[in-house]
Amino acid sequence: MKDFRYLENVTTLVLDEDKCIGCGLCEVVCPHTVFKVENPKASIIDRDACMECGACAANCPVEAISVTPGVGCASYIIQRWVKGKDAVIECC
Amino acid sequence: MKQLSIKKFDADPPKCDCEGNGRSNGDKVTPLQSLQPLSIPMAGAVDEDAPCCGPKPAPPSRPYEKSGYRIVHFVKDFVKTPVGDIPRIETGLKGLDIGGTIRARIGISRDRYKVAPGLYCVGSPDNESPVLVTANYKLSFDSLRKELAGLDAWILVLDTRGVNVWCAAGKRTFSTEEVIRQVKRVELEKMVSHRELILPQLGAPGVSSHKVKKGCGFKVIWGPIKARDIKAFLKNDKRTEVGMRQLTFTIRERIVLIPVELSLVVKPSLAILLAVFLLSGISPDIFSLSAAWFRGLNGAAAYLLGVFAGAVVVPVFLPWLPSRRFYIKGIQTGVTAGIILLLVLGQNITRLESVTLLLLAVSVSSYAAMNFTGATPYTSPSGVEKEMRQGIPVQLLAVVVAVITWVAAPFVS
């Protein structure tokens, strides 16, 4: 996946290192090797590879990670623009 | 009836005796009783000397067939367990599966291509065998089971509404709640003595492992992304190597997505093509049928080439097209396609018309390419939204200018 890079400085990913307990799950679930967990906490080693899937945040037992997960799909985003943020959106 | 101890559920009902007794076979617990009533003779016992007409009758119904149910073709037989008969499935794919895969890949009945959720097994699993969790999209199910030849395992299929693991996790149907629900529904705690579930890593956006543990007592172990790594993962003490955790997007993986992308644009395309033909007919004589046809064909060619450039050429050449923005990749391929069309059409069209056709091809290609972001495994929603804020105004402007000049062209010349 190193051949594919998307836009830089757009991800909403935030890691609170103070809360981190170093369990290592974020590193295990991330499909883009964004995290590295070593002595003893997690750190973000490749922020721009993040695709905001939300796997890390969902699996962090101490809620040290936050990200706005979503669907990176144009027709979904257009529907959200047109119908508003909370509208029921048809699958794309 | 003999009490079943949860040790080994290896059973093969088709061979089971009809006396209503279980057979003890060392540690193995074999079928407790036949599923057939005692008094009914075996349906297979056809009197070979009986008068015969027509073709040979079908083979006798198997003991586990049930009125009102149909046994799906990938079920080999059923294994008796404390919680009921569990289907044992084949690990090889048949023609039916391959045909189904092809249909789903070109978008025919793709949203209904699913298997029944619940518990299945492969091989001869016992209470220590691993439990693999997957989605009930038939393609997901097939890609898992074809990698399990020679393994003894339980397969827990979630009801993801016929959607693959990754998309279902995003849509929250492959979810913490669904894992807990199915574990309880199939009474998994009675089936296995361990308390572990192996989930595909791409289900992680929808499943919080600590909440699953809390909800049903089972610990989630994140398995590899691809089913083909399962054996290596199991051998590796249920740990994923870095390579098993990273997504890929090879040319093959991109090409298989193209037909579905195209199938999604068929309907809007028909409406657009109709509009192109109608707009092409507007002439100084109000409406010209011949113009609608001949100019319409040029417009349709530009539109279809635009779709091809955006939805086919961009996915194939994705890593080699300059720019990370998909709408720009689409502009690049759209310009190329448009210029080729103009070279073909040559002197048959006016200069104004050629500009129009180029703009049409470019805007369509750019939009189609931008839509491909939804099929890639590396574009973040924040990034897609950012490029759409730039791309859509450009595409809209190009389309509006194209329509105006296309309609104006007959009046100018």
Q: How far apart are CA B85 and CA B83, in angstroms?
A: 7
- Put simply, the chain B residues between 211 and 240 with a CB less than 8 A from any chain A CB are 222, 225, 240
Q: Tell me how close the Cα of B20 comes to any Cα of chain A, in angstroms.
A: 49
Chain B residue numbers touching A61 (CB-CB < 8 A): 210
Give the pLDDT confidence score for residue B4 in this predicted structure: 40
B307 touching A, CB under 8 A?
Answer: no
For an interface test with B, give the residue of A7, A45, A50 to mutate (most B CBs within 10 A).
Answer: A7
The number of residues in chain B equals 413
A92 touching B, CB under 8 A?
Answer: yes
Listed residue (B304, B369, B385) closest to B330, CA to CA: B369
Contact across the interface for B380 and A61, Cβ inside 8 Å? no
The 8 Å CB, 24+ separation contacts for B318-322 are B318/A4, B318/B249, B318/B254, B318/B376, B319/A3, B319/A4
Q: What's the token pair of residue B41?
A: 């003779």
Domain boundaries along the sequence of chain B: 13-41+72-247, 252-412
Give the pLDDT confidence score for residue B347 in this predicted structure: 81
Place of tokens 């309907």: B267
Give bridge partners of residue B77 from the DSSP assignment. Answer: B88
- How many distinct helices (H) and strands (E) make up chain B? 15, 11
3-state class (DSSP) for residue B221? strand
Q: How many CB atoms lie within 10 A of CB A56?
A: 28
Chain B residue numbers touching A68 (CB-CB < 8 A): 381-382
Chain A residue numbers touching B386 (CB-CB < 8 A): 7, 10
- What percentage of chain A's residues is helix, strand, coil (to nearest 5)? 25, 15, 60
Q: What's the token pair of residue A65?
A: 């990670």
B248 burial via Cβ count (<10 Å: 0-12, 13-18, 19+): middle
pLDDT tens digit at each of 413 positions of chain B: 344 444 444 444 444 333 333 333 334 333 333 343 333 445 445 566 666 677 888 888 888 888 998 899 999 999 999 889 999 999 999 999 999 999 999 999 898 999 999 999 999 999 999 999 999 999 999 999 999 999 999 999 999 999 999 999 988 999 999 999 999 999 999 999 999 999 999 999 999 999 999 999 999 999 999 999 999 999 999 999 999 999 999 999 999 999 999 999 999 999 999 999 999 999 888 888 888 888 999 999 999 999 999 999 999 999 999 999 999 999 999 999 999 999 999 888 888 899 999 999 999 999 999 999 989 999 999 999 999 999 999 999 999 999 999 999 888 86
Chain A residue numbers touching B206 (CB-CB < 8 A): 58
C-alpha radius of gyration, chain A, whole number = 15
A41 touching B, CB under 8 A?
Answer: no
Task: Report all structural domains of chain A as residue ranges with CATH numbers, in order of start.
Answer: 14-83 (3.30.70.20)
Contact across the interface for A32 and B376, Cβ inside 8 Å? no
Give the pLDDT confidence score for residue A78 in this predicted structure: 83
Give the pLDDT confidence score for residue B23 in this predicted structure: 37
The matching CATH number, chosen from 1.10.1040.10, 3.40.50.300, 3.40.50.1100, 3.40.50.11600, for B13-41+72-247 is: 3.40.50.11600
Q: What's the token pair of residue B309?
A: 């450039």
Give the pLDDT confidence score for residue A1 in this predicted structure: 63
Which tens digit of pLDDT belongs to each residue from A26-75? 999 999 999 999 878 999 999 999 999 999 999 999 999 999 887 767 77
Give the pLDDT confidence score for residue B311 in this predicted structure: 97
Contact across the interface for B204 and A59, Cβ inside 8 Å? yes
Listed residue (A29, A11, A15, A40) closest to B242, CA to CA: A29
Chain B residue numbers touching A72 (CB-CB < 8 A): 373-374, 376, 379-381, 383-384
Listed residue (B108, B102, B174, B170) closest to B139, CA to CA: B102
Give the pLDDT confidence score for residue B232 in this predicted structure: 96
Give the pLDDT confidence score for residue A83 in this predicted structure: 80
Chain B residue numbers touching A9 (CB-CB < 8 A): none
A32 touching B, CB under 8 A?
Answer: yes
User: What ipTM was predicted for this assembly?
Assistant: 0.91
Q: How far apart are CA B161 and CA A65, in angstroms?
A: 29
